[in-house]
Structure 1
Amino acid sequence: MGSERDTGARLALMCGLPKSGKTTYARRLQSHGWVRVCPDEIRRALHGRGHYPPAEPLVWANAELSVRALLLGGHRVVLDATNTTRHRRAPWLRLARELGVPVCAYVLKTPKEECLRRNQTSEEPVPPEVIDRMARQWEEVNEDGLEVHPVEG
């Protein structure tokens, strides 16, 4: 496969810290016909809670299978995950290339301090150290073949 063919299928990666507004933006895309795949929702469906390290390989295998099937079906798919490092984005870029579908990234520019503030009032808070760690590990989204759309959070 490898070369892009226009089946209508597209892949969008949300990229941003926890509580940066990724899900809100992804739901906006969903209201315009995109199919949203969210590892957090897969976690809840599989084991009824948030991040649980022993189940993570199954969560990501499920996400990959869902994204692959939807793209093969010609859908526009948005992956609602943090995607803060090149390592996290790489499998999705490989999948898009393999299937010959365009891929873009919506990069939430919400400052860490705002994410921490939002986290304090969230119904589903994450440990603040997770936001701090992801902010330190953040890698600019600029991979070849990835159309980048900055989003003010």
Structure 2
Amino acid sequence: MNNDEIDSRVVLMCGISGSGKTYYSRQLENQGYRRLSIDEQIWGRYGSGFADLPPERRKEIFMDVTAELFVRLGEMLENGEKVVVDSTMCKRIKRDYARNICRKHGVEPAIIYMTAPLPVLWKRLSGRLGNGPDDLIVSHSDLMSYFENFEAPMPDENYMVFKQT
């Protein structure tokens, strides 16, 4: 994908864990975007212990941090900043919510959908050691749950696809 194709102050990354969202977000960060990362927020609070929490507690934490991230997105837009949201955006309702925040600030966000085959995702994730926010451990069962429950963007969401093999 060519970064020149992006013509928005806000980029919403979208994709399953291991699809390359953080890698691409960092490229945008190098071009002047401020990066909002849920994984960094979670790591900052819980460190490697997050992976050891019960699934329901992890989900609760993830939802809380997502809500905080959306507040921060609004603040950054008020300040005129360019923002890339490095998150799964796994459900249409989350993307719609983020899109509405952007529109309230006069910005139409770009949605970049990162996709990769399940074996590629697992190969990437199985090598993680839990050494930092970009290295969070994702179990095979969690990956399968993410894969089965992920809501891919619909045509009316005006997204760009970046496929990895």
TM range, smaller chain: 0.7 to 0.9
Contact persistence 1:17–1:112 (CA under 8 A) = no
Instruction: Work out whether 1:43 is the aligned partner of 2:42.
Output: yes
Question: Structure 1 pair 47/80, CA: closer, same or farther in 2 (3 Å)?
Answer: same
For each residue in 1:5-62, what CA deviation from the matched residue of structure 2 results, as whole angstroms up to 9, or x when unmatched? Answer: xxx9722111111011110010011011111000111112233353634534431232
Contact 1:9-1:75 at 8 Å conserved across structures: no
Percent of pairs with identical residues: 24
CA-atom RMSD in angstroms: 2.1
The answer as to whether partners of 2:13 and 2:86 remain within 8 angstroms in 1 is yes
Say which SS state the counterpart of residue 48 (structure 1) adopts. Answer: helix
The structure-2 alpha-carbon separation of the partners of 1:24 and 1:75, relative to structure 1 and needing over 3 Å to count, comes to: same
Shift in alpha-carbon separation, 1:148–1:54, aligned structure 2, 3 A:
closer
Shift of 1:103: 0.6
Partner of 2:83, secondary structure, is: strand
Aligned length: 145
- TM-score normalised to the size of structure 1? 0.83
CA contact (8 A) 2:8 2:110 kept: no
Aligned pair 1:58/2:58, yes or no? Answer: no
Provide the residue aligned with 2:114 in structure 1: 108
The equivalent position to 2:149 in structure 1, one of 128, 137, 150, is 137
Deviations 1:76-104, CA, capped at 9 Å, x for gaps: 11110111221221210111122211211
For structure 1, the 5+ residue unaligned runs are 1-7
Greater share of residues in helix = 2
Where do 1:2-151 residues align within 5 Å? 10-49=9-48, 50=50, 52-123=58-129, 124-142=136-154, 144=156, 146-151=157-162
CA distance in 2, matches of 1:119, 1:57: 22
Deviation at 1:134, TM superposition (A): 1.7
Distance 1:72 1:9 in 2: 15
Question: What SS does the aligned partner of 1:19 have?
Answer: coil
Contact persistence 2:8–2:109 (CA under 8 A): no
TM-score under structure 2 normalisation?
A: 0.78
